[in-house]
Amino acid sequence: MWLINSSIGRKVVMSVTGIALILFLTFHCCMNIVALFSGEAYNMICELLGANWYAVVATMGLAALAVIHIVYAFILTAQNRKARGDNRYAIATEVNPGKVEWASKNMLVLGIIILLGLLLHLFNFWYNMMLAEIVGFSGGHLPSDGFAFIIDTFGNPVYAVLYIIWIVAIWYHLTHGFWSAMQTLGISGKVWFCRWKVIGCIYTTLLMLGFLVVILAFVLKCAPSLCCYGGC
C-alpha cells in the first residue's frame, strides 16, 4: 500500500494525522479556557468526557493518531538523514524565514520534547482522571474533579515551567508542520504557500497563547498564598 511503502504516502499520513491532532488541540484549548471562568463548568465537561464508552473510544482513536504520527515522524526523519544528510529539510531560502528554518531542521528534537511533555501530561491528568475512573482508584481527588488537578499541577512551579517549555516546543513544531502538511496534501501553490505559512503561524500562536494563559492564570492564582506546591 502506497501510504505505507512510499515516502510520499508516509508524508500524507503524517499530514492527515497532524491536522487531526491540531483540531484536537483546538478543542482541548477551548476546554481549558472554560476553567478560567468556572471550575464547576470545567468539571462538568470532565465528567462528560470521563470513562464513558464514547470518550474511551475517542481516546483510543486519538492515541492511535498520535502513535502513527510519532512512528512515521521517526521513519521519515531516518530516511531524510540517510538520503540528504544535513539538507534533509532544505527549502528555498526566499520562502523560508529563519525561525521556520530552525524548526524544520530540528523537528526530531522538538518531537522528542513534545513526546516527553505528552507523557508528563498523561501522568498528571489522564492517569488521575480517565484511567483512575476505569480502574477504580483515586489520585488524591475525584477523577471528575479536573479543576483540582489543574490547581495541583500548575501550582507546582516545576511543572509550570516544564509545561511552558512544552508549549514553546509545540509552537515551533506546528509553525513548520502546519504549512508543510498543506504543501504535502497539494493545497499549497506558489501563491498560497506563503499564505498558509502566515495563517499557520497566526493560528498556532493564538492556540498556544490560549494554553499559556491558562497556565499563567493558575500560577498567579496560587502565587499569593505561596503554598501551591502542596496545593492551594
C-alpha grid cell, residue 65: 493518531
pLDDT at 13 over 60: yes
pLDDT at 32 over 90: yes
Q: What is the pLDDT of residue 11?
A: 84
Compute the average pLDDT of residues 9-18: 86
Q: What is the pLDDT of residue 229?
A: 47
Q: What is the pLDDT of residue 196?
A: 83
Q: What is the pLDDT of residue 104?
A: 66
How many other C-beta atoms lie within 10 A of the C-beta of residue 157?
13
- Phi, psi values for residue 166, rounded to 5°: -60, -45
Q: Which of 172, 161, 174, 167 is nearest to 212 (CA)?
A: 167
How many other C-beta atoms lie within 10 A of the C-beta of residue 176?
26
Q: Which long-range contacts (CB under 8 A, 24 or more apart) does 40-46 make?
A: 40/147, 42/146, 42/147, 42/150, 43/144, 43/145, 43/146, 43/147, 45/146, 46/129, 46/144, 46/145, 46/146, 46/147
pLDDT at 29 over 50: yes
Q: What is the pLDDT of residue 101?
A: 57
Confidence tier at 191 by pLDDT (50, 70, 90): confident
How many other C-beta atoms lie within 10 A of the C-beta of residue 196?
19
Distance between CA atoms of residues 213 and 124, nearest Å? 19
Q: What is the pLDDT of residue 89?
A: 42
Confidence tier at 91 by pLDDT (50, 70, 90): very low
Q: What is the pLDDT of residue 144?
A: 83
pLDDT at 98 over 60: no
Tens-place pLDDT, residues 195-214: 888 888 999 999 999 999 99
Q: Which amino acid is at 129?
A: M
Measured between alpha carbons, how far apart are the two ends of the chain, in Å? 54
The crossing angle, in degrees rounded to 10, of helices 157-184 and 190-222 is 170
C-alpha grid cell, residue 15: 499530514
Tens-place pLDDT, residues 58-89: 999 999 999 999 888 888 777 777 766 555 44
Q: What is the pLDDT of residue 103?
A: 64
pLDDT at 102 over 70: no
